[in-house]
Chain A
Amino acid sequence: MEIELKLFATLGRHLPAAARRNAVHIDIPADSTAYDVIDANGIDREEAFMVVRNGVFRPPEQRAREPLREGDVLAIWPPVAGG
């Protein structure tokens, strides 16, 4: 199934060259979790500080067990803040 993966700030280095605006469409096995995607793209789980699925923050326990769905947007940031 296909999802849109968005990697921001320093995590952008994990994106393929074809990525635009920090985003890329990727094919993943059915029932993959956020952590499955994070691991498959070589991202350190601790560096995946903020994981947002379809705009909603997902806490670490849900990243491990919640299956993603076709068309989901998975956006990930390292530790960031602002104001």
Chain B
Amino acid sequence: MAWTGKILRVNLSDGVITSEALNREWAGQYLGQRGLGSKYLIEEIDPNCDALGADNKMIMATGPLTGTMASTGGRYSVITKSPLTGCIACSNSGGFMGNELKNAGWDMVIIEGKSPEPVYLYIENDKAELLPADEIWGTSVWHADEWLHKRHQDSLLRVSAVGRSAEQGCLYSAIINDLHRAAGRSGVGTVMASKNLKAVAVRGTLGVGNLKDPKRFMQAVGEAKKVLADNAVTGQGLPAYGTQVLMNVINELGALPTRNTRDVQFEGANDISGEAMHEPRASDGKPNLTRNAGCFGCTIACGRISTIDKGHFSVAHKPEYWGNSGGLEYEAAWALGADTGVDDLDALTDANFICNEDGVDPISLGATIAAVMELTKLGVLTAEQTGGVAFEFGSAEALTQAAEWVARGEGFGRELAMGSRRLCEKYGHPELSMTVKSQEFPAYDPRGIQGMGLTYATSNRGACHLRSYTVASEVLGIPEKTDPLTTDGKPALVKAFQDATAAVDSAGLCVFATFAWTMEDIAPQIDAACEGDWTVDKLLTVGERIWNMERDFNLRAGIGGDQDSLPQRLLKEAAKTGPAKGLVAGLDKMLPEYYELRGWSADGVPSEATLGRLGLA
């Protein structure tokens, strides 16, 4: 139970929409959301299909706890083959869309084919139809969102939409829901736009019930909420400072990738930090941060809602940017700030708002701009080649201009929209691309946090911190402190985080809850809601099964162990300052042990015994 038991299948090519029963056997093996959505995708598409062709599919999947009373139970994921990486993509978003889909009665929506004309999908409980989107094609997410609310005369309509960047083929376009929540990584928005699907608008009023043991569920949920409230991190730290509190933490530890990872500490870190967002600015005495915000059902509320100084150069001509929007979160602040060397908080906020408005992954955007800045520093690129703008490290003007270009698919923005791997290859310097499997890595330098090197190298969706956030252990001491500068014990740590995270991502819950919750807090909630016996051991096995299934997809797509690597800079150039001074990322010391722990061959292929043990043979 907890699942609605229904899938909405939308064929954009012929416009046929059908309802079908959820495969209960798979639900018992893959739980929901990331795991179950990936199972469906993998069963239905050729791993070697063109990610931007009609043969690729895109699945919007909720978890069994999405839309329930469980804290943080508002998540949904978009699963598809990524045009950026060629790997399986699964991008997770909060806000209110997941809850709305579930309340409309759907566990997931499978979108296939390609519409001959721009359309949007309108779902109102059992009713689903494709409607013309000509009037909003070529407009931003914010414009489309407003138009859809007016068109349907429904202020409670929930909208997931793509912006102009996706329509123009930017390979790291996001799907934005609720104006500023994003299924952000791996170009899932690009896939959606390639299908001529502008938006999915949902209204659900059916409620979410169908729980296995409602009384026990409410008890388990209540106890788990108390754990979040009593925990200093989830009860106080995250609501007050959000993820952005990490800027100074990671900088002090010498693990803040700076200026395209040339350095590991940024002298301007404090100016773009969570603390700086609280500081009153000179012009109007107001801080950048307006308030915190929570997604559906969340009792943490780590989100940031901010404003830009109206007098700042970036918004002087954009009154539509004088109001509130989401961010900065830590990853965006790092990519748009430290990685580009820009210490102008308002410029970063503007670039982040642009990413919100037109659906751009700020991590990939910032890291690609950083690569262009290094190419400029080396004299490979000149201002003449980059739209007349000098891409010098630290240039807030270049940052905000680049963001606008990419958002609209204009000028040099079309080259930035390729992502750093393709762009750096084009200009003869692939070594300057800070990517794994073509995806830009996030805000932790593996020379200073060694476990993150293995995390990036082995992530099934290309470099990513959310596949195994060992920062929790290596920096924050959750669940126990480990030394960030050593590789010892990290293969087992990474595997444990990967498997547990895959299970959490499949439940409808937010991974940030695990700063306080252990699997012992999560399992009783799932077990009380879902048919079957959901123990901690079973959840970890489900997580391991999902990990191996994703890996198998990538192998069949031609992405194997030879790509479980890191940029040469991290492997060859030692950190210059801080505690990690003199260290490189010790991937070679970790990868063989990791493969062995996984039950994979020396070249990273799951053995028959491993696949058999997990029911994947």
Give A residues with C-beta under 8 Å from B.
Answer: 6, 8-10, 12, 21-22, 49-50, 52, 54-57, 59, 73, 75, 77-83
Contacts and interface: CB of A to CB of B under 8 A. Distances in A.
Contact of B275 (A9, A59, A81): A9
Interface string B481-516: 100100000000000000000000000000110010
Contacts of B477: 50, 57
Interface of B: 231-234, 236-238, 240-246, 248-249, 252-254, 270-271, 274-275, 302, 330-331, 465-466, 469, 471-472, 475-478, 481, 484, 511-512, 515, 578-579
- Please name the 9 residue pairs, one residue from A and one from B, whose CB atoms are nearest each other, closest first: A82-B243, A79-B232, A82-B246, A55-B579, A21-B270, A80-B237, A80-B245, A81-B515, A79-B233
B245 A55 contact: no
A54 B476 CA distance: 16
Contacts of B476: 50, 80-81
Given A9-B240, A9-B241, A12-B275, A83 B465 contact: yes
Q: Per DSSP, are chain A's interface residues mostly helix, strand or loop, or mixed? A: loop
Contacts, number: 94
Nearest to A21: B270
Nearest to A54: B579
B481 A57 contact: yes
Given A9-B274, A22-B270, A55-B579, A75 B245 contact: no
Given A49-B232, A54-B579, A81-B238, A8 B249 contact: yes
Contacts of A57: 253, 475, 477, 481, 484
Given A49-B232, A80-B476, A81-B472, A55 B254 contact: yes
A73 B254 CA distance: 13
Contacts of B237: 9, 78-81
Nearest to B485: A56
A34 B274 CA distance: 24
Contacts of A6: 248, 252
Contacts of B579: 54-56
Contacts of B234: 81
Contact of A10 (B240, B246, B270): B240
21 contacts: A6-B252, A8-B245, A8-B248, A8-B249, A9-B241, A9-B245, A50-B249, A50-B477, A57-B477, A75-B248, A77-B245, A80-B233, A80-B238, A81-B234, A81-B238, A81-B478, A82-B238, A82-B246, A82-B249, A83-B465, A83-B469
Contacts of A50: 249, 476-477
A14 to B, nearest CB: 13
